[in-house]
Amino acid sequence: MDQSQHSLYSTSGNGAPDEEYRRDSTDEIIRLIRRLVQATYLYTKELDRKHNVSAPQLSCLRVLDSDGPLPHSQLARRVMVKSSTITGIVDRLERKGFVHRVRTSPDRRVITIELTPEGRHLARNAPPPIQQQMVDGLNRLDPSQIEHIIRTLKILTSMLDTKVIETQVEQDDTVMSIW
């Protein structure tokens, strides 16, 4: 058993984990969560620096590349943001020359978002979203490891006040759309 595994079983003599173990374990959990958050932040920063797009904007470009032209409402659903949020994202993408709005229906109120050649090029050549790296890594794990991760993440997320977080996500599209 290596040192890190040994520390998992440190007890105070009565079978309960000792205080040092709890402190060290909590610190390690927080450090690992921070690493995940930092990786997401660094990915987003690099994406903006190299390609002049945000993660939500790239998500839109990738969805349009895979699904073809879509109305605002369908694009918002596919990217998992509110319709009002998708309007701002599309406005910025249109100003950058990556998409354009087209009225293709006899009902002139229906506007479809289409990729420009520049937008298609970026969608196909930008680095994969950070969640793709996670998906690739998870696909290499055996089912018991995946189940363990799910159980552990459920425990961690249940410790949070999810109603507050859900409200913040609804108000801030950058939280959800980095994924």
Mean pLDDT in consecutive groups of 10 residues from the start of the chain, 179 residues: 48 69 91 91 89 91 95 92 91 96 79 96 88 88 95 88 58 47
Q: Which tokens sit at 22? A: 């709890």
Residue 31: the pLDDT is: 95
Residue 162: the pLDDT is: 60
- From the list 108, 64, 114, the residue with the least C-alpha distance to 94 is 114
Distance CA 82, CA 72 (A): 10
Question: What is the model's pTM?
Answer: 0.65
Structural domains in the chain? 15-177 (1.10.10.10)
The answer to whether the beta carbons of residues 79 and 56 sit under 8 Å apart is: yes
Kindly report the backbone phi and psi dihedral angles of residue 55, in degrees, each rounded to the nearest multiple of 5, phi listed first: -60, -45
Which residues does 169 contact at the CB level (< 8 Å), separation at least 6?
175, 176
SS3 17: strand
Distance CA 54, CA 48 (A): 6
